Amino acid sequence: MAGSVFGYARSTYDVAAAVAEQLITPGFLADLPTPVAELPIHLLGHSRGASLVGELAHQLGQRGVWVDQVSTWDPHPVDGIREPTLFNADYGDAPMVRYQNVVFWDNYWRTQGDGSLDFTGEPVANTANLQLSEAVLSDGGYSNEHSDVHLWYHGTVDPSLLPPANDGSEDVPQDWYGGPHPQRGASGFVYSRIVGGARPLTGLSQAVGGTAESAALDWSGANWPNLLDLRVIGGGQTFDAEQTIPLSYYHADADSGATVSLSLDVDQNPYNDNPLPVAEQVVSSSIELRPNQTLLPTSGIAAGSYYISARIADAAGRTRYAYSSLPITLVATTPEEDDYVDISDGQSLDVTAAAILEQHPQSKRLYVYRGAAGQLNTFEPWQTAEPQFIGGRLYHRGDAEAGSQTAKLFVSTDNAWSNPFRVADVDGNGLVEPIDVLYLINALNRARVSSFAVVQPLTDSQAPERYLDVDNDRLITPSDPLQVVNWLNIQNRLRRGNAQA
């Protein structure tokens, strides 16, 4: 499309505009009836190709499509600037400019000087730039270092040593990595969504927490929805089956609202009918990326390994997909007989994290069913998590550390509004503090009554945010904050007594 060196030539502006239109057109690829732009986009280009992919990202942005990553190798727009000796051409190519719709841009370049016979690359402003050593690249690879730049990157995709990685023309020298250059697995392809390595903030858009500034984009014709950077909050990869999973993502659609559908999928292919739908929510229109957090329920999903999948679609049917970079694992949580205790008949049970880890070294967990008459005594702060259904019964979950390990305590009661680990710990952070009193007073003030009844949640997604029923009478009354005040007073007296002793 770009013509030839000795014939006519089109600029990268023209080629990018043509390609961008095809990427949003259904059927551009013969085996894909939907637009290519439905999928996350990573654009990679060498030399003039760097100018092309930079402008292609710009053209996609004007249509409303966010690009997850741009990778450029020794950029050289043919624009009459720094052209090699004996090659004095100007095709009017697009300059290297980063626009607002690029999430991450990494650039790899080297130079032999403006007057050399070889094409010279250039740094790109507001990207993660890595200057490669001309002296190192001259030892092996291609006869010209301009081509060695993409060969160096190829070695970060394929780390083979025996035989060495080969791009189809040249072997990748192992001694190109380390020394003045990063180690082989520390740069390059590691930043892709496929690998999922941490991206340098210098190449990451400010819209997603990076430091890279971007040129303004004309959004007037933008109409595509976007969903980016789907991930588990906290970075965990293993969860109990039927547990809700906290997620975050960014979304944008300049001209309309859209619907986000969340699923679990056995692979990262949205077109092979594997997704298991679990949640849906509506998001409003926005030109800029907006962060969002949500809970992904897993009730009814079998234990196993899954990718988290998200689909965003607007009323016109324009759709984009995103997947988590790494799979999550759902672990079956049906209590084993040895890990289960029933104290509903009035028994008393003392529990510590150390005892759970000692008595249940494999599962590191204990399940307790406590009826109204049962007495459960815990002797340390337990960090509570979202209540969840296990085997048809609602369990409260608490975590506590002992040494370097975490013990999990699951307690099932008939009142999800009462903290079974420490009744006065209203916010479930493992501590009893004055703010717990404030939560209760605020609840009574909002209700504008002296007492109101609590309702048993029906699902884990309806579980209460606070354990407001301190005295376990299924009512929120002034007695509940008083119980917390009494608890605090007792602890203060105990502390004063210990200090005097």
For residue 315, the model assigns a pLDDT of: 94
Highest mean pLDDT among 34-38, 360-364, 469-473 belongs to 34-38
The stretch 209-222 carries a mean pLDDT of 96
Poorest-pLDDT segment among 173-182, 188-197, 299-308, 380-389: 380-389
* Residue 215 identity (one-letter amino acid): A
| CB 367, CB 276: distance < 8 Å | no
- Cα 104 from Cα 191, distance rounded (Å): 9
Question: How many C-beta neighbours within 10 Å does residue 450 have?
Answer: 10
- Alpha-carbon dihedral sign for residues 184, 188, 192, 198: positive
Which sequence spans correspond to the domains of the chain? 12-208, 226-331, 337-500
Residue 423 pLDDT grade (very low, low, confident, very high; cuts 50, 70, 90): confident
- Cα 217 from Cα 234, distance rounded (Å): 33
3-state secondary structure of 152: helix
Fold for 226-331, please state it.
Immunoglobulin-like (2.60.40)
The rounded radius of gyration (Å) of the Cα atoms in the chain is 29
pLDDT in tens, 472-485: 888 889 999 999 99
| CB 43, CB 67: distance < 8 Å | yes
> What are the residues whose beta carbons fall under 8 Å from the beta carbon of 131, sequence distance 6 or more?
109, 110, 123
User: How many whole angstroms from its chain centre is CA 22?
Assistant: 29
- Alpha-carbon dihedral sign for residues 81, 87, 92, 98: negative
Q: Residue 330 to residues 16, 261, 314, 373: CA-CA distances in angstroms? A: 43, 20, 31, 34
